[in-house]
Structure 1
Amino acid sequence: MNTILSADPQTDAGLVITRTIAAPRAAVFAAWTNQDYLAKWWGPECFTNPVCRFEPTSCGEIYIEMCAPDGTIYPMRGEVLEIKAPSRIIFAASALDAERRPMFTTITTVTLEEMHGRTGLRVQAKVDAIYSSDATHCIEGMPAGWSQSLDRLTALVTGTA
């Protein structure tokens, strides 16, 4: 796994995570694009997703409410910018504050490469805009949050969840 992050939206390549997953690319793509699967792995360890909508089409809606173990809800909304089955998904997403206003927006590019029955996964999440000083804490948590999410994704598609 390779992780890089800087919070400067002007100069940074963003958070980049690469993994090889012992599952077929079609299964990994389905885990990203089927909202029922997405709800099972999205977010850090011990979080649930009581509301999870993902429309796997260009301009499709994304809306997820992550629920922390203490019951706090962390909503996010976004839009699918590009989808090319089964190899690429690009989406914009905004973490929302308590009043449902965007704190910051990221552009996330998911690339899936077929590797003889395994899947090469590359996730790049680049901060596109920052709207709130509260965003810093969230942005600083992105490496751990994404790593834990991808651990959960891997467990789901490999049957070890």
Structure 2
Amino acid sequence: MNNATTIPDRQLTITRTFDAPRSLVFKVWTQPEHFSRWLGPKDFTAIACHMKVQVGGMYRACIRSPEGTDHWMQGIYREIIDPERLVFTFAWEDENNRPKHETLVTVTFEEQDNKTLMTFQQAIFESTESRNAHNTGWSECFDRLATYLTEL
């Protein structure tokens, strides 16, 4: 890693406003039948999604790339305040289903005129390149989330 890289360079913040009530946006983050519908970048498909949404509960999911490569992720829920806040760890898995570098994700949901302001934060990445890749991936997920919310 480049020693000139600072911690702020390895943090990600994305804000989005969704045309849906906060309770619904929170729901699609916490129920596997909904989460799996928008999880993954453009053209990816969630092929597995297991969630035990409680403090200390684990989630594990797999997204498949258009080329057919499976990417497994896992984490532990650290804080759940329905419908305001989710905090959980995030790690990609290695070929033996063990977590690789772990980051902490915090998602907050604010009601604004029957819309929802979502603030997504993830840190601390191993590198700015990893942060940038996650920025692209999550941004595409949130595009899919916006579309999915209009369908509900």
TM-score normalised per structure 1:
0.84
Letter of the 1:37 partner, please give it.
H
**Contact 1:104–1:127 at 8 Å: present in 2 too?**
no
Aligned to 1:110: 107
- What is the alpha-carbon root mean square deviation over aligned residues? 1.9
The one of 19, 23, 26 aligned to 1:22 = 19
- Gaps of at least 5 residues in structure 1 are 1-7
- Percentage identity across aligned positions? 33
* 2:151 corresponds to 1:155: no
- Gaps of at least 5 residues in structure 2 are none
Task: Judging by fraction of residues, say which structure has more strand.
Answer: 1
* 2:76 corresponds to 1:79: yes
* 2:23 corresponds to 1:31: no
TM-score normalised per structure 2:
0.89
1:80-130: CA deviation from partner (whole Å, max 9, x where unpaired): 0000000100000111122323331110000000112100110001126x5
Alignment of 1:115-130 (within 5 A): 115-127=112-124, 130=126
Letter of the 2:110 partner, please give it.
E
User: Is the alpha carbon distance of 1:46 and 1:15 closer, same or farther for their aligned partners in structure 2, counting shifts above 3 Å?
Assistant: same
Aligned to 2:90: 93
Rounded to whole Å, the distance in 2 between the matches of 1:155 and 1:48 is 15
User: Is the alpha carbon distance of 1:51 and 1:27 closer, same or farther for their aligned partners in structure 2, counting shifts above 3 Å?
Assistant: same
* 2:135 corresponds to 1:143: yes
Letter of the 1:14 partner, please give it.
Q
Task: Judging by fraction of residues, say which structure has more helix.
Answer: 2
Deviation at 1:70, TM superposition (A): 1.1
Rounded to whole Å, the distance in 2 between the matches of 1:57 and 1:101 is 21
Deviation at 1:43, TM superposition (A): 1.1
User: Is the alpha carbon distance of 1:15 and 1:38 closer, same or farther for their aligned partners in structure 2, counting shifts above 3 Å?
Assistant: same
Q: How many residues align?
A: 147
Letter of the 1:69 partner, please give it.
P
Superposed structure 1 runs of 4+ greater than 3 Å apart: 135-140
